[in-house]
Every structure is written in structure tokens, then in C-alpha cells.
Amino acid sequence: MPFLDITVMPVPTASKAAYLEHSRQSTPLFKEQGAISVTEAWGDDVPDGEVTDFKRAVNLKAGETVAVGWITWPDRATRDKAWEALMQDGRMMAMEMPFDGKRMIFAGFELVQES
């Protein structure tokens, strides 16, 4: 069953190119470990909610944009093994995140339906 790692993060709007470059550099590492695909999305229509929303979830500040990304894995076992290896990979550890990782939210999801 496919498994997704989903992230939501605040990215300085002026750092969009650096964010995409970070993805271009990290994507091959994920794929080496078995990822099927890596997707990045830039917030273009992120409304304010009445109770909660993407902006509040990441404590968005002026001059930042909400970005969402997901990595599709063939299954959770592959994903778990991959992250264990990636956390030991010097190439991954040397990368600087062009966003505030402390305000990033992330989780793993079992894909239960796709149309």
C-alpha cells in the first residue's frame, strides 16, 4: 500500500528559488532510497480559516508563503528504512533548509484511496 510523507512549511517568499533548489538536491536522495515521487507545491490560494488554517499551522509571518510537499513511497516499510538511512547520509545532513524547520509540520499517511 503506498505511503505518503506530507510536509507543510513556511518559506520566505523571496527564497522560493532556494526552496526549489533544495528539493532538486534532495529528490535524488529520496529516490535512491526507494521513493516513487517527490512533489512540491507553492501556496497560491491559502485562505484564512475561522478555527484553523495552513497559515496558523505553521505560524506564518509576513513575507512568507505556505509550501506543501509530499513524498510517495511504495509502502511504509520502505519509507521507514529510507529515513533511517537518510538520517545517516552525509549529503542529506549537509543540506541547509531554506525555511524554518521548527515551524514545519509533517506526518506519514497510508494512502487509502486514489482516483
Report the chain (115 residues): mean pLDDT per 10 consecutive residues: 97 98 97 98 98 97 98 98 96 93 97 93
Q: Is 97 helix (H, G, I), strand (E, B) or coil?
A: coil
For the chain, what are the domain ranges? 3-110
Cell of 48: 484564512
State how far the Cα of 98 lies from the Cα of 29, in Å rounded to an integer.
17
Say if CB 72 and CB 36 are below 8 A apart: yes
Q: Tell me the backbone φ, ψ of residue 7, rounded to 5 degrees.
A: -125, 150
CATH assignment, 3-110: 3.30.70.100
Q: What is the pLDDT, as a whole number, of residue 73?
A: 98
Q: What is the pLDDT, as a whole number, of residue 79?
A: 98
Q: What is the pLDDT, as a whole number, of residue 12?
A: 98
pTM over 0.75: yes
Amino acid in the structure at residue 4: L
